[in-house]
Structure 1
Amino acid sequence: MSAATVTINDVAKAAGVSKGLVSLALNDRRGVAPDTRDRILTVARELGWSPNPGARGLSTKRAYALGLILRRDPRTIEVDPFFPAFIAGVETVLAERGQVLVLTVVPDEEAERRAYSRLAADKRVDGFLLTDLLADDERIPFIHGLGMQAVSLGEPGNDTPFPVITRDYDAGIDDLVSHLIGLGHRRIVHVSGDERMLHGRKRRERYEHAMLAAGLTPVVVPTDFSPEQGAEATKALLDGPDRPTAIVYGNDPMAIAGMGVAHERGLRLPQDLSITGLDGSQIGTYVYPSLTTIDNDPTGWGIAAATALLRLVEDGEPADVALPPARLVVRASTAAPAGGE
């Protein structure tokens, strides 16, 4: 018998159980004793059984796929390490269950709504992973109106019927600002990200809170989270009359772009300028000097989001997930300013 011809009936016969029990075990559903589940899974592996998403979809009206629609410039996604790591976390969960991710990148809101409607109407996905939450995010009621399930990365500003995956950044940002102040910095500028996105706005607000609590004046330069605008903001700050001694960027790609500008200007990092990121990408360990940042673990975001969405789709359990708080990661890109502030 070839692996391609092995059916649930074959697994049930070999394991000495019913076809229904095999289906529950293979789909990781409740109602199967642990030892029975282990025996079924062992027999399935020995026979070389593998799931057929198309056949399962016909019988259960499931697509066995999750959707991720990103409204971003593809160039931004290309240079932002959060998304590859997040997708890797999602795929870790889906691969174990024989399911897939449907990824769509769209340029604007109209195209985004069409994509949600098309995937829902065609029954190509069982639910959606929502990233880049906006204030009063209209996607939440829109997706709910389509009769679809979803989970969101972050707490929406409006009511939501869907589970949320959260991580507390406040303490990490407070620690980051305190770290810079403790080194002797007083002119600490924040190059913020796109404030239409809730996480961009919340990071800026927490920076301002930490600066004001320390009796310092916050200075914010807004951008769209792209390395290009991060670099332009850095040039403007270095050419300004009151050059900062430390810059806190809204994400690591902008911080790395800022490093490049500083190196081109002949500045010594971190003596002449301390630089930090805010989302803990792995690439920050390999730049020179290595980047001080806030730990974010995007792979962990992906694992938690995919697991929560599958639990909602399969068992109807809308469970929120609070990830471990983001923590300060001190590396070589921060130091006391040369000659004081």
Structure 2
Amino acid sequence: MKRPTMADIARRAGVTKAAVSFALNGRPGVSDPTRRRILAIADELGWQPNSAARALSDGRAGAFGLVVDRPARMLGLEPFFMQLISGIQAELSADGTPLLFTVAEDQRAEIATYRSWWAQRRVDGVFLVDVQLEDARVPVLEELGMPTVVIGAPVGTGRLPAAWSDDAAAAGTALRHLAALGHRRVGRVCGPARLRHTEIRSAAVARLAPELGMECATVATDYSADEGAAAARTLLTRPDPPTAILFDSDLTAVSGLTAAQAMGLRVPQDVSVVGWGDSALCELVHPPLTALSRDVAAHGGRAARMLRAAAGGARVADLEDEAARLVLRGSTGPAPVAATAGAAAVPAAGGGAQGANAPGPGQRQTVAEL
């Protein structure tokens, strides 16, 4: 069945194509009864506006774009991006705006996609994710004048507005919790060092760990499950293995916990595990994972509202979302006695160590501020 056109509507209604155009676009030139009849026929025929023609007539594509520079195979396993995209799409679907999504093999290909989309009027704006320390995309998007919302910290993002939460504060929440449990040797499994949010978290850990009397060894990964498990094994086979490990994603945390158990270690009696990002994965393992948690889908929805406003010509300011809170489950507990012998107690901010009251498997406790 061929797609219905305005000519089909005009023939059915017994009017000119110009009258159909006036009616469908809400312009004067037709009577109210005629407008209602034309709209009813258009609905009956299942007519939809041609996005390419609309872009030529008013310069708007009626769609937004998202390009991700990560392997497609990993995106299907990464809860963060699935939650983010679901939040963006839920907001955009309210007015029928589609999200044009694709994967790029590198930053050069990503930039080429932006240039192509903008030249062909395929999108009215884009979301920028995974900001890098030296990010070539930022000046290109500024040069194009393409409405853009950065999902990440407003550092190195030029004039582009950002929707973000404080990763440094979240890192502090996790470290203080572990310090209150008596942990002094901590491992960290982070993402790629080139990413801005990795650098922010690393700087926060490097600054705070000495203040809490902690040593921290870091291993970088690509966020995959395989590398998360390998990083855990690397840390746990050191001459002075950590008594707790902070993972920068829930996927690597789950794989790291499993790797530790495969080595014969008990969680949390021998090693505590904390994940960054709280998804269903965290509650499906045993023991369930203590994790830094925030509503990523709601964050995506707020970013979508920002981009809609920017595409409409509004000046959009940075939006700081709530920092991640720590949800306590069974994967964290007091440091092994041998590891804490002779160590001075480091109380959590606000008083009171968390160790003795750490929840067991299946229990859930939220720490808004430690």
Q: How far 1:338 moved relative to its partner?
A: 3.6
2:302 paired residue number: 304
Kindly tell me: are residues 53 and 251 of structure 1, through their superposed partners in 2, closer, same or farther at Cα, counting changes over 3 Å?
A: farther
In structure 2, what is the equivalent of residue 132 of structure 1?
Answer: 130
Over 3 Å counting, the alpha-carbon distance change for 1:51 and 1:202 in structure 2 is: farther
CA distance in 1, matches of 2:172, 2:50: 47
Q: Which amino acid aligns with 1:242?
A: D
Determine helix, strand or coil for the equivalent of 2:102. Answer: strand
1:230 aligns with 2:228: yes
**1:17-166 superposed matches below 5 A:** 19=26, 52=49, 54=51, 56-158=54-156, 160-166=158-164
Question: Quick one: distance in 1 between partners of 2:62 and 2:140?
Answer: 22
Q: Is the contact made by 1:53 and 1:99 (CA closer than 8 Å) also made in structure 2?
A: no
What are the within-5 Å matches in structure 2 for residues 224-263 of structure 1?
Answer: 224-263=222-261
Q: Is residue 137–residue 156 contact of structure 1 (8 Å, CA) maintained in 2?
A: no
Q: CA deviation at 1:58?
A: 4.5
Q: Which moved more, 1:285-294 or 1:304-313?
A: 285-294
The superposition leaves residues 215-258 of structure 1 with CA deviations (integer Å, 9 ceiling, x where unpaired) of 22222122222222111111112222111110001111111110
Per the alignment, in what secondary structure is the counterpart of residue 215 of structure 1? coil
Whole-Å separation in 1 of the counterparts to 2:161 and 2:78: 25
AA aligned to 2:76 is E
How far residue 316 of structure 1 moved from its aligned partner, in angstroms, is: 2.4
Give 1:329's aligned amino acid. Answer: V
Alpha-carbon distance between aligned partners in 2 of 1:68 and 1:19, rounded to the nearest angstrom:
31
String of CA shifts for 1:20-50, please: whole Å, max 9, x gaps. Answer: 69xxxxxxxxxxxxxxxxxxxxx99xx8999
Q: Tell me which residue corresponds to 1:213.
A: 211
Question: 1:56: Cα distance to partner?
Answer: 4.4
Q: Which residue of 2 aligns with 1:25?
A: none
Cα distance in 2, alignment partners of residues 140 and 220 from structure 1: 29
TM-score by length of structure 1 reads 0.83
Matched letter for residue 291 of structure 2? T
CA distance in 2, matches of 1:310, 1:262: 45
Measure the CA separation in 1 of the matches of 2:298 and 2:48.
26
Q: Is the 8 A contact 1:193 1:201 kept in 2?
A: no
Aligned residues of 1:308 and 1:320 also touching (Cα < 8 A): no
Could you say which residue in structure 1 is the equivalent of 2:165?
167
C-alpha distance in 1, partners of 2:300/2:65?
A: 13
In structure 1, the gaps of 5 or more residues are 22-42
Equivalent in the alignment of 2:327: 329
**Residues 184, 213 of structure 2: 8 Å contact kept:** no
Secondary structure of 1:102's partner? strand
Separation (CA, whole Å) in 2 of partners of 1:51 and 1:222: 49
Hey, which bits of structure 1, 4+ residues long, moved more than 4 A?
47-51
Q: Is the 2:153–2:197 contact (alpha carbons within 8 Å) kept by the matching residues of 1? A: no
Take 1:210 and 1:328, find their aligned partners in 2: how far apart are those partners? Answer: 17
Root-mean-square deviation over aligned CA pairs: 2.8
Letter matched to residue 287 of structure 2: P
* Structure 2 CA distance for aligned equivalents of residues 174 and 134 of structure 1: 22
User: Which whole-Å deviations, capped at 9, do the CAs of 1:54-78 have from their partners, x for residues lacking one?
Assistant: 2644542211111111111222212
Supply the distance in 1 between the matched residues of 2:59 and 2:79 (Cα, whole angstroms). Answer: 35
CA gap of 1:330–1:295, structure 2 versus 1, over 3 A, is same
1:287 matched residue in structure 2: 285
Q: Secondary structure of 1:248's partner? A: strand
Residues 281 and 296 of structure 1 are in contact (CA less than 8 Å); yes or no, is this contact kept in structure 2?
no
Q: Whole-Å Cα distance in 2 between the matches of residues 322 and 233 of structure 1?
A: 32
Partner of 1:19: helix, strand, or coil?
A: coil
CA gap of 1:310–1:20, structure 2 versus 1, over 3 A, is farther
TM-score, normalised with respect to structure 2: 0.77
